[in-house]
Amino acid sequence: MEPTTHPISYWHFENGRWTYQQGEIIVETPVDLSVNGERWVTLMCTPTHLEALAVGFLFNEGIVESADEVAIVRVCENGCNIDVWLNKSVQKPSHWRRTSGCTGGITSQETPPLKIAQESGPLITLEAHQILHGLSLLYQAQDLYQSARGVHGSALGDGERLLIQVEDIGRHNTLDKIAGEMLLRGIHPERRILFTTGRISSEMLQKAARLGAQVLASRTSPTALSIRLAEQYGITLIGYARRSQFNIYTHPERIIGWQAEGLVTASTPFAHSE
């Protein structure tokens, strides 16, 4: 398997002084995905959790619905190809659409996704501190980011702990990896809170809906389209979650105490603090 970081040397400028330093830089790798013996697409990724990346990508594209449909997942020795064999015949998409992903994410789907998980039973509720605690746990678990920077992290939590945590140069890839880990490991909690360091685009929101997330929280911003989709899918969308603060853009009823006394209405619904 290819290493995830690469040693480098570089010149650093700070406070009027130059220093020559050594460090690590994140690896970006092209990995081919083959399905039932046919090459489908090349994924630009960080070479970790590759089996999960492949299965999760197929799940989020609506190609598979469960792990029972996957017969074999095999990564070649040099890590340049993931070979997936399914227990059914599938048609390769005729075209792939470039997304807003950091590494040029791709999808065969238009908005909305083919099938999304629906919340059943009583409304899932959380305390505000559980959102902040979950993101804090994600930051602490980002080993690649600590050593080399340059990667996104995402995690699936249940409000108490992180169940799955992954990193990748592509924020879309992190949610595909989570989807694959959920299927391959049989992780299906009742409460599904997704935490991520990346921007919430419409594609990220669709993947979260596909995973059945009730809450999606990011340290940065959503887009206008992702807010509309979150409202439609019933997802509590949270942005700019940092230290002791965050913004709720849709379905605040899941966060206990959101209707606090002395609520101040900003001039814009998307106002935030940097």
- Positions annotated as catalytic residues are 102
Q: What is the distance between the alpha carbons of residues 99 and 3, in angstroms, rounded to a whole number?
A: 27
The 3-class secondary structure across 221-262, one letter per residue, is CECHHHHHHHHHHCCEEEEEEECCEEEEEECHHHECCCCCCC
Q: What is the distance between the alpha carbons of residues 138 and 222, in angstroms, rounded to a whole number?
A: 19
| In the block, residue with structure tokens 């993101």 | 135
Q: Contact at 8 Å (CB) between 110 and 95?
A: no
Residue 269 is encoded by which pair of tokens? 């619904």
The dihedral of CA 243, 170, 164, 199: what is its sign?
Answer: positive
Q: CA 5 from chain center: how many Å?
A: 20
Residue 241 is encoded by which pair of tokens? 């979650």
Closest by CA position to 213, among listed 118, 128, 132:
118
Q: Which helix (H) or strand (E) holds 59?
A: helix 50-60
Closest by CA position to 157, among listed 196, 183, 120, 185:
196
